[in-house]
Chains A and B, each alone.
Chain A
């Protein structure tokens, strides 16, 4: 179980203090599938980075299975089973897809297992195994490989930061299927930051974050209809259905 207790994060913008995340408290039980959504610039990605330890909260506490991890490094949190898929994954000259997946897994992955992860994210595996994760791959390819690196790990909490961003329509359909498959076999809690209705539809619970704070939080069946009404009424952030 992942718990956020009164987590705030602010940065200094010149003389002014800018509050990015404001007093967020959230409990994510084991095995739940949570979608965090809300307008751009609302603090969603920062919240994910706070959970992974890439940023440290200005105040508040983060607990994993009752252990206070607020002061822990990214490495320590990773070892405790937190995984994070970057919105814009970095590229590595010289590292092959197979090597990256093996590094994620912690030891050398057999070829068929690598292939199965790649197939799940819609990549024809044999073409990709020995390719370098460098600029020769498209943005969409790198994103899918990024998702595969999380599949290759044994996790307690998997965080995906806008997995759909930069992925074409065809791949998106496959991505939704992958998340369905992940959901069906999941042991870990899954937190996905997304603007996509079709991903929200998969969620157990939806958290709406706007202006750094939780605006709405509850079971999908409660939150989702409200969200749609709210944004149909005047806002434009409703995603295009893939």
Chain B
């Protein structure tokens, strides 16, 4: 792999090279380039459309799977369908992520459609980082779709991060939960320049004692625009909490539209949303530590998105 590929892998998947243990699949410019299946995790190419099936055996513990995607050419339009089948009682950490290095003037786009089928009592941690770079004028576009189907008493924690360099993103997340399932999502987003980001989430709590926590933290700088629409739908005796927090700077625009629906009298669903600029006392406090205003601002933003 080239140097640029490795630097991108580091940014999106915290790996500086091929992972030494565990299964992985690295996709570059629209095609799979490297792959390893293991005894417990089988990765197979789909036959009907681009993408892979990742099958994790029931009952396996502490498995790790890396499936990063990198795009280093301009004009790539890559749509990929990845399905994760997580066996009953399995415990797995999946690190995905997409990095685009576009030095040309044509748009490069990656649309990842990920579906998770999580078996009973299984535990999944999913980390997805999106990052763009490159001196070209070509747009860097990432439109991820995530669908999660959770069986009884399964647990799924998702951290979805887009920190830098993605010009346009529309994220759609759709979750279906059976009894006792627990879903936690932490979405962190920073936009700058003229970037646009939209995130739509629908969390359906269909079974008794299902619970969901949806946390979104974002920072919008310059003239960027963000729209958040997280929705929790309680169809049973369940609990959900939706929290959207945004820092707005410069001439940015943020719209936060959390929605909650209860179709059962025992559903307890709460939402809270806040948008505000960095408060002057916060800046001053850090400046009394000897930081410049700009340094203080960076610390506040980093902390907020940490």
Among B76-84, B142-150, B281-289, the stretch in contact with A: B281-289
Interface string of A43-63 (1 = CB under 8 A from B): 000000000101000000000
B279 and A78 within 8 A (CB): no
The number of chain B residues touching the other chain, given as a range, is: 20 to 34
Given the known inter-chain contacts A52-B288, A54-B284, A75-B287, please indicate yes or no for A93 contacting B279, CB distance below 8 A: no
Among A84-92, A178-186, A187-195, the stretch in contact with B: A84-92
**Interface of B (DSSP majority class):** helix
Among A23-31, A98-106, A118-126, the stretch in contact with B: A98-106
How distant is A28 from chain B, measured CB to nearest CB, in Å? 18
B300 and A92 within 8 A (CB): yes
A78 and B285 within 8 A (CB): no
Contacts of B300 in A (CB 8 A): 92, 95
Bound form: Cα–Cα A88–B280 in Å: 13
Within 8 A of B (CB), among A140-173: 149, 153
Given the known inter-chain contacts A90-B279, A94-B304, please indicate yes or no for A79 contacting B290, CB distance below 8 A: yes
B306 and A90 within 8 A (CB): no
B281 and A90 within 8 A (CB): yes
Given the known inter-chain contacts A94-B304, A94-B306, please indicate yes or no for A86 contacting B290, CB distance below 8 A: no
Is A227 engaged at the interface, CB distance under 8 Å to the other chain? no
Bound form: Cα–Cα A86–B303 in Å: 20
Is B31 engaged at the interface, CB distance under 8 Å to the other chain? no
How distant is A130 from chain B, measured CB to nearest CB, in Å? 12
A106 and B281 within 8 A (CB): no
Is B292 engaged at the interface, CB distance under 8 Å to the other chain? yes
B282 and A75 within 8 A (CB): no
Bound form: Cα–Cα A133–B279 in Å: 14
B287 and A86 within 8 A (CB): no
B304 and A86 within 8 A (CB): no
- Closest residue to A146 on the B side, CB-wise? B285
A78 and B287 within 8 A (CB): yes
Is B291 engaged at the interface, CB distance under 8 Å to the other chain? yes
Given the known inter-chain contacts A75-B292, A86-B281, please indicate yes or no for A92 contacting B287, CB distance below 8 A: no
How distant is A154 from chain B, measured CB to nearest CB, in Å? 11
B303 and A95 within 8 A (CB): yes
Within 8 A of A (CB), among B288-306: 288-293, 299-300, 303-306
How distant is B256 from chain A, measured CB to nearest CB, in Å? 15
Is A202 engaged at the interface, CB distance under 8 Å to the other chain? no
Bound form: Cα–Cα A194–B263 in Å: 56
How distant is B305 from chain A, measured CB to nearest CB, in Å? 7
Is B164 engaged at the interface, CB distance under 8 Å to the other chain? no
How distant is B247 from chain A, measured CB to nearest CB, in Å? 9
- Closest residue to B247 on the A side, CB-wise? A93
B245 and A89 within 8 A (CB): no
Interface string of B82-100 (1 = CB under 8 A from A): 0000000000000000000
- Closest residue to A95 on the B side, CB-wise? B303
Given the known inter-chain contacts A90-B281, A90-B282, A103-B299, please indicate yes or no for A84 contacting B305, CB distance below 8 A: no
Bound form: Cα–Cα A153–B286 in Å: 12
B288 and A78 within 8 A (CB): yes
Is A74 engaged at the interface, CB distance under 8 Å to the other chain? yes
Contacts of B288 in A (CB 8 A): 52, 74, 78, 82-84
B285 and A86 within 8 A (CB): yes
Partner among A75, A90, A93 whose Cβ is within 8 Å of the Cβ of B285:
A90
Given the known inter-chain contacts A92-B300, A94-B304, A94-B305, please indicate yes or no for A75 contacting B291, CB distance below 8 A: yes
Residue contacts A-B, CB under 8 angstroms, 24 given: A54-B284, A73-B287, A74-B284, A74-B287, A74-B288, A75-B287, A75-B290, A75-B291, A78-B287, A78-B288, A78-B289, A78-B290, A79-B290, A86-B285, A88-B281, A90-B281, A90-B282, A90-B284, A90-B285, A93-B303, A95-B303, A103-B289, A103-B291, A153-B289
Q: Which residues of B approach A to under 8 Å, CB–CB?
A: 217, 245, 279, 281-282, 284-293, 299-300, 303-306
User: What 4 A-B pairs have minimum CB-CB distances, sorted nearest first?
Assistant: A94-B303, A90-B281, A95-B303, A78-B290
